[in-house]
Amino acid sequence: MSGYKGNGAKAILVVVYGNRAYEDTLRELQDYLTARDFDCTAAVAAIAEHSIMRQFASGRPNDSDKKQLAEFSRQIISKISQNAPREPLKLAGNYPYKDYNGVPLKPKAGKSCTKCGLCAKMCPVAAIPADDPQKTDNSICISCMRCVSICPAKARKLNALMLKVALKGLEKACSTRKENELFI
């Protein structure tokens, strides 16, 4: 994205999170795109099932979320059609941004891996070596769990003990229902 040039184009910021918190992401995104001459005209924080602990926000976005997001899009279209003057959105978040210390949960494949290579092909950051897909480069992995959900052999898993510890830490923050938000 560092090569992007907005030339004044309108941008709609969207973050999706698993019912814990989106922290500074919208704010950081606005700062980043504004510095590249985008007009950040609206922002949405939307809820989806937690990618690691699927018991949180399970089944979301559900029908009522989808209705709400459709309503958000109508409001955004209306704002764009009014050609409102460019001004920063008032977004939640800290400045300076909160430090990101990574997520210590990195999946690996077990013996049931058939070496089909799908996970290596689909990993968004190329953290799985194509010639050895049972491994994960932990320094690159962003813990998105895409490989876990797409593995046809269900071979990719997280360390069970680490998962238990992480669940304890997340339980409080993720248990209260969060709502989709629109900033306009």
Element (H, E) at 173: helix 160-175
Strands in 39-47's sheet, in edge-to-edge order, are 10-17, 39-47, 181-183
Contacts of 65 (CB under 8 A, 6+ apart): 46, 47, 180
Using the rule CB under 6 A, is 144 a contact of ligand SF4?
yes
Residue 155, interface with ligand SF4 (CB under 6 A)?
Answer: yes
Q: Is the dihedral angle over the CA atoms 69, 60, 18, 134 positive or is it negative?
A: negative
Q: According to the binding rule CB under 6 A, does residue 146 interact with ligand SF4?
A: yes
Q: Does 10 bind ligand SF4 (CB under 6 A)?
A: no
CB 154 within 8 A of CB 179: no
Binding of residue 158 to ligand SF4 (CB under 6 A): no
60 is a site residue for ligand SF4 (CB under 6 A): no
Which of 29, 33, 44, 151 is the binder for ligand SF4 (CB under 6 A)? 151
Residue 11 · residue 38 · CB < 8 Å: yes
Segment interacting with ligand SF4 (CB under 6 A) among 17-25, 33-41, 78-86, 122-130: 122-130
Could you say which of 29, 147, 166, 174 contacts ligand SF4 (CB under 6 A)? 147
Residue 108 within binding range of ligand SF4, rule CB under 6 A: no
The contact set with ligand SF4 (CB under 6 A) reads 107, 109, 113-119, 123-125, 127-128, 133, 136, 141-147, 151, 153, 155-156
